[in-house]
Amino acid sequence: MCGRFVITSAPAAIRQAFAYVDQPNFPARYNIAPTQPVPVVIADGGARRFRLMRWGFLPAWVKDPKSFSLVINARAETVLEKPAFRNAIRRRRCLVPSDGYYEWKVTGSRKQPYFIHPQNDAPIGFAGIWETWVGPNGEELDTLAIVTTAAKGSMTELHDRVPVTVAPQDYARWLDADETDVESVIALLRPPPEGQFVWHPVSAAVNRAATDNPQLILPISDEELRAIEAPPPTQSATKRAVRTKPSTDDSGQGSLF
């Protein structure tokens, strides 16, 4: 799945990578979370355009957003079948620029965050679908979901799902909303080739969506990781530690233990 990602490249580098005509200026973001506005690239009038959309897909037929579950990902295997997505996958596809994302590996009862990024450190484009939700008072909200697929190869060590990364040579085909050629577009929804991504463990500070700083993507040391993964002391061990705690009695009689 994909629940947090980053955009660290300069706006000019993102613009060059995706060839949109707009010239937005935006800060680096190290912990983009669901419900936040995120940059996307769409095709509009024969040109690529930069837009901001809410990460959290709302189908057009939803009456009350509060009654609809937060949808941040769409499964590639069923995106053509699900009523919420089948119109968007045919007519409203987008690219979500990124420099990497986070995934949580389950280790025992803990979840250790990892930062996953391209080995060549070039910006990537996640496959996205979008929809404009119109409220009862005419208000409009552009919303999106990132498409995911089954992980393969070494990436299964972290999670069984990965966001679909569209190759640069396929950007035009993905953005071209030609309903008659939807099957060839679905063929793009595949996991990344082995070796495209690398990863390392990072601090659990990323768990808090409000935290956003460059330190989040830095690797933690092997010692820190071992300390995190070490099993907690058993109850009996804790009791023994309590029984053998040095005496704090100041009676003048020393204690060997």
Q: Each residue of 33-69: b (16+ CB within 10 Å) or e?
A: bbeeebbbbbbeeeebebbebbbbbbbeebeeeeebe
In 3-state terms, what secondary structure has residue 205?
A: helix
For residue 43, give both structure tokens.
């095709």
CA–CA gap between residue 51 and residue 142 (Å, rounded) = 9
> Tokens 């040391």 sit at which residue?
221
Active site residues: 2, 103
CA–CA gap between residue 122 and residue 138 (Å, rounded) = 40
Encode 104-121 in three state secondary structure. EEEECCEEEEEEEEECCC
Q: Which is nearest to 186 in space by CA: 85, 103, 254?
A: 85
| DSSP notation for 29-77 | EEEE-TTSEEEEEEEETTEEEEEEEEES---TT-S-GGGS----EEETT
CA–CA gap between residue 209 and residue 233 (Å, rounded) = 30
Q: Which is nearest to 94 in space by CA: 143, 21, 161?
A: 143
